[in-house]
Amino acid sequence: MKALSLKQPWAELILQGKKKIELRKWNTKFRGEFLIHSSKIPDFEAMKKFGFDKLPCGFIIGKANLVDVKKYETMEDFINDKELHLATEEWGFYGFILNDIKRIDLVEAKGKLNFWEFEK
């Protein structure tokens, strides 16, 4: 199954339903279910900003369905979706629109860039 690595707390915010769009600098034609992997090294600044002390890193922690990709053509559109992606433009202008998000039991895994194949 495909997996996507995200830094904490972004992965956790998706699982909590607070982040519904994952920003990337690259587009994808992939649509469908994928595993959410929490990268080994968290985004320490974002951990403080969102009030997290410790979150699991280096694990498959959930799954989601990528239903569409929104390309932000204007800053106005980007800012209008701020409550859905919770991020700044440094993360990119391609918004991966997610639904059917579920937390799963932790599975230790090494992450990779882009979508990658996880084989248990």
Mean pLDDT throughout 44-69?
97
Structurally, how many domains does the chain consist of? 1
- In DSSP notation, 87-112 reads --GGG-SEEEEEEEEEEEEEEE----
> What mean pLDDT, rounded, does the chain reach?
96
Give the CATH number, domain containing residue 74: 2.30.130.30
> Which pLDDT value is given to residue 120?
77
pLDDT at 4 over 90: yes
Instruction: State pLDDT tens for residues 69-113.
Output: 999 999 999 999 999 999 989 899 999 999 999 999 999 999 999
- Find the mean pLDDT for residues 48-66: 97
Which parts of 8-118 fold into alpha helices (H)?
10-15, 44-49, 75-80, 82-85
Q: Is residue 68 part of a domain?
A: yes
Q: Provide the domain limits for residue 14.
A: 2-110
Q: What percent of the chain is predicted at pLDDT more than 90?
A: 96
